[in-house]
């Protein structure tokens, strides 16, 4: 994929839905993709700002290679400006705090040496460093590793098409179901995110959805029902929904953390809307995957670690119901 097209005044970036039109020397909304000599230059290519080995459950992905480790990498920059960002120290800046420049070959070797089964592009928005992420992902594929995007869902349709056969799984943040909230407070577009989610489902990527429940921002029963209803109707009721507790961060340090009753309300609404798999995140509570038919406990998690896994070749061992996900 060529990540830009020529325009009469410069170039248009194709990485995300903002489609920034960039004159010579201009940088996009993300701060890390620049028109340099009439071509798009990714300013963070190979410049890693965050690098860790994580349980895949931390992403969070609960139905994709459970119990495995993912080499997680991030750079800096983002194409949204969420005031409650949990990783704002790297996502809301455009300069890598130190030069830890690495190659795709080095990162894949690191993943293999640390017994990881996947590489996760995360911490900041991976859409803005996709030229680098893709090269890492292709190298990872050569060694049998999976690739995971943890994203805000602002990928362009062109980029989603390019990801086929490259990226295996996504966790997408569906932050609200209010288009005004998305535009005014997040500097994103709800309809674009919804379209991305539909396209990912249509193209058979593995997909899980996360909503950070922020007090007095997106926690009304009506909005939670709209989010859960969209997931059930447009993405399928086997799509896992992670409802995460907000902690005061960045520009919302004045807010209280999400109360337990708000998470329980979201959980109950998700179940009422027909979702088979709803999980609470950022709280000290077991994450249990149950068979949607017989309710057998299949996977029990304490924090990010699995204590019980009864899934048998992707099926419930009691009633043989197929459990959606990639289990081996």
Mean pLDDT, residues 155-180 = 98
pLDDT band (50, 70, 90) for residue 113? very high
pLDDT band (50, 70, 90) for residue 88? very high
Mean pLDDT, residues 14-32 = 97
Mean pLDDT, residues 57-77 = 97
pLDDT band (50, 70, 90) for residue 30? very high
CATH architecture of 43-285: Alpha-Beta Barrel (3.20)
Alpha carbon dihedral 123, 175, 2, 131, in 10-degree steps, equals 0
pLDDT band (50, 70, 90) for residue 109? very high
Any idea where the domains of the chain sit in the sequence? 43-285, 286-328
What is the C-alpha to C-alpha distance for residues 153 and 151, in angstroms, rounded to an integer? 5
Yes or no: say if 232 and 275 are a contact pair by the CB < 8 Å rule: yes
pLDDT at residue 234, rounded to an integer: 98
pLDDT at residue 99, rounded to an integer: 67
Mean pLDDT, residues 147-175 = 98
């Amino acid at each position: 994929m060529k990540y830009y097209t020529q325009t009469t005044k410069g170039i248009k970036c194709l990485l995300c839905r903002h489609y920034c039109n960039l004159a010579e020397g201009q940088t996009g909304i993300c701060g890390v993709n620049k028109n340099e000599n009439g071509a798009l230059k990714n300013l963070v290519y190979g410049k890693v700002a965050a690098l860790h080995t994580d349980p895949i459950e931390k992403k969070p992905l609960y139905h994709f290679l459970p119990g495995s480790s993912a080499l997680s990498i991030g750079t800096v920059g983002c194409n949204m400006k969420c005031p409650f960002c949990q990783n704002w120290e790297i996502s809301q800046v455009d300069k890598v705090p130190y030069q830890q420049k690495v190659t795709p070959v080095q990162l894949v070797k690191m993943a293999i040496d640390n017994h990881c089964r996947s590489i996760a592009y995360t911490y900041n928005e991976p859409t803005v460093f996709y030229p680098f992420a893709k090269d890492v992902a292709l190298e990872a594929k050569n060694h049998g590793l999976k690739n995971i995007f943890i994203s805000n869902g602002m990928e362009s349709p062109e980029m989603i098409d390019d990801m086929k056969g490259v990226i295996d799984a996504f966790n997408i943040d569906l932050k609200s179901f209010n288009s005004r909230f998305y535009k005014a407070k997040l500097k994103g577009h709800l309809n674009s995110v919804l379209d991305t989610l539909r396209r990912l489902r249509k193209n058979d990527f593995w997909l899980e959805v996360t909503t950070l429940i922020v007090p007095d921002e997106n926690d009304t029963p009506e909005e939670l029902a709209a989010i859960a209803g969209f997931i059930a109707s447009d993405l399928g009721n086997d799509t896992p929904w992670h409802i995460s507790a907000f902690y005061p961060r960045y520009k919302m340090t004045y807010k209280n953390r999400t109360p337990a009753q708000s998470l329980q309300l979201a959980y109950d609404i998700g179940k009422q809307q027909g979702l088979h798999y709803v999980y609470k995140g950022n709280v000290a509570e077991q994450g249990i995957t149950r068979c949607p038919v017989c309710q057998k406990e299949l996977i029990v998690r304490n924090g990010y670690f699995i204590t019980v896994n009864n899934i048998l070749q992707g099926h419930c061992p009691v009633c043989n119901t197929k459990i959606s996900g990639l289990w081996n």
